[in-house]
Amino acid sequence: MSCSLGVIGLGRMAQVILLPLLERGDFRPDQVCGVVGQKASVQNAKEQLPRGVQVFSSDDPSSLVVWNAPIKLLAVKPQHLDAVEEMWNQVDMEAPSSDQLLISLLAGVNLKRLGAIFTDCSCVRAVPNTPALVGAGLTGLAWGDEITYEQKLLVEKFFKPISEVLELPETQLDAFLALASSGPAYVALIAEALADGAVAAGLPRLLANYLAHRTLFGTSLLLKEKALHPGQLKDMVASPGGTTITALRQLESAGVRSALMEAVVAAAERSRELA
């Protein structure tokens, strides 16, 4: 038994990438196999995927087939990389083909480290974000030196249907992650806080949640469609002595702008630390 695409860590992000590939027929289910950490997760992963995709737990000797796949998607949490490395070193590889490809989603794990572990593979780092779930994601890609043109096209096939793809030097990937990949959590927190404020000011919860969400959505669309600088949009809304400038003054005195900047810098530093 062999498979074309082996997924190491069949969790949330791997499934976001994998399901569209299967839906579009880029891979048949029987060409895909994956491995999860715990036996208890096998059934759950199978239920999320089309029939025919094979799923193994990491301690199952049959999981060998995943490691031997010519294309590997590495999607475990960075803290599980040591366990993956241990497994990989125990794998008795079938004659490795020269064009093995490893796509890593791991935050902070650089190409040098990946290349040292997966010695027979061409490696690429991919940093997607969760709006990929609705086809509105962003993915940053940094290529290893040995990657071929054909492999680049193949990797793009994984990410273009769910996200806009940006090719970046690896040195920019931590900052990309800190904004684009962690960003949906910051924005969700802002949406929640805005809704809480509206509830405190007297609106019912459901209406407040809806208004917060629509305000973020509409603002984002307006910035994009009219190609506005954020400062221009702020100035359009804030009239002299009005409600908005009063609120903005409050935000500035609470240090919101600086807190957001520091959050992005801290996330980028954490990503570098994980390396």
Ligand X SMILES: NC(=O)c1ccc[n+]([C@@H]2O[C@H](COP(=O)([O-])OP(=O)(O)OC[C@H]3O[C@@H](n4cnc5c(N)ncnc54)[C@H](OP(=O)(O)O)[C@@H]3O)[C@@H](O)[C@H]2O)c1
Confirm or reject binding of residue 69 to ligand X (CB under 6 A). Answer: no
Report if residue 163 touches ligand X, rule: CB under 6 A. Answer: no
Residue 65: exposure state from Cβ atoms within 10 A (0-12, 13-18, ≥19): middle
48 lies in the binding site for ligand X (CB under 6 A): no
Residues 10-39 that bind ligand X (CB under 6 A): 10-14, 35-38
Does residue 275 touch ligand X according to CB under 6 A? no
- Report the residue from 3, 6, 9, 140 that binds ligand X according to the rule CB under 6 A: 9
Q: Are 264 and 179 in contact (CB under 8 A)?
A: yes
- Residue 116: phi and psi, rounded to 5, are -70, -30
Nearest distance, CB of residue 84 and ligand X, angstroms: 5
Per rule CB under 6 A, is residue 84 in the interface with ligand X? yes
Eight-class DSSP state of 165: E
**Does 129 interact with ligand X (rule: CB under 6 A)?**
yes
Q: Residue 106, interface with ligand X (CB under 6 A)?
A: yes
Q: Answer whether 108's CB lies under 8 Å from 43's CB.
A: no
Q: Is 75 in the site for ligand X (CB under 6 A)?
A: yes
Dump strand ranges (E) for 12-132.
32-36, 54-57, 71-74, 100-104, 121-127
| Cβ contact 93:120 at 8 Å | yes
Comparing CB distances to ligand X, the nearer of 30 and 85 is 85
- Quick check: 78 binds ligand X (CB under 6 A)? yes
Of 138 and 195, the one with the shorter C-beta distance to ligand X is 138
Place of tokens 């994980």: 274
Closer to ligand X at the Cβ: 45 or 208?
45
For ligand X, how many residues bind (rule: CB under 6 A)? 28
CB atoms within 10 A of CB 83: 12
Rounded Cα distance, 98 and 101, in Å: 9
How far apart (Å, rounded) are the C-alpha atoms in residues 132 and 181?
10
Is 77 a binder of ligand X (CB under 6 A)? yes
Torsion of CA 9, 10, 14, 19, to 10 degrees: 160
> Is residue 127 part of the contact set for ligand X (CB under 6 A)?
yes
Q: Which is nearer to ligand X, 102 or 107 (CB)?
A: 107
Using rule CB under 6 A, residue 128 touches ligand X: yes
Answer yes or no whether residue 76 interacts with ligand X by CB under 6 A.
yes
Which residues here bind ligand X, judged by CB under 6 A?
A: 8-14, 35-38, 41, 58, 75-78, 80, 83-84, 105-107, 127-130, 181
